[in-house]
Amino acid sequence: MARCADAVVPDVVRWVESAAGPLIAVPEAVLPFWAGADGDETSSDHDRACDLPGHAGLLPVGDTLALVLGGEPAATAYLPEHGLFVRRCAAGDEPRLLSEARLIAEVPAALDDAVWEPALEWRVPGPLVLFDAARSGRAATATDHARVELAPGRYGVGAGYVPRGPWAGLRLVRVGPPAG
């Protein structure tokens, strides 16, 4: 399921996975500043990402912020048509997940059923790279990653989950216009 996003192929959803911790979406402009699990400090960048509460949080990287997708490790894809990170989690005792095609087709209904946390405001300098937070930014594009095209600007970030139904194994993180 995990694929690298070196080539852009229309209509192909790229899923990124983590070995054990959170995923992070770092603006390309500051990728070299993300040290991952390495570092000379007592707390690595990866440790800082793991310490963020909730399913979505913002963390300083360089002179901007990166989006941490926390909670349990989950295969994650960005769906630009919805401005949404979709995270496939195990649904309780049910190990079977929806097929990728059905999951994508069911996203609009899942959005209607989702329970949303309060939104954060995020100023984005441009495109992002989504990858395992344990990796360094310098190594991110040499491993499992996805490039997320976002125009520079202000965005609202809201995390949600679907409490029931066939989408109960989904965590959602919406990136869109900021609230009022």
Q: What's the pTM value of the predicted model, to 2 decimals?
A: 0.86
Would you mind telling me the total number of residues written for the chain in this entry? 180
- Report CA dihedral (65, 67, 73, 75) to the nearest 10 degrees: -130
Instruction: Judge contact between 140 and 120, C-beta under 8 A.
Output: no
At 147, the amino acid letter reads R
- For the chain, the structural domain boundaries read 23-176
Per-residue pLDDT of 8-64, as tens digits, reads 444 578 999 988 889 999 999 999 999 999 866 678 999 999 999 989 999 999 999
Per-residue pLDDT of 94-146, as tens digits, reads 434 567 788 888 888 889 888 999 899 999 999 999 999 999 999 999 889 99
DSSP E strands in the chain: the ranges are 23-27, 57-61, 64-69, 75-79, 84-88, 115-116, 120-124, 128-132, 145-148, 153-161, 170-176
What residues have CB less than 8 Å from 159, skipping those under 6 apart? 54, 55, 56, 116, 117, 171, 172, 173, 174
Rounded to whole angstroms, how far apart are CA atoms 145 and 15? 8
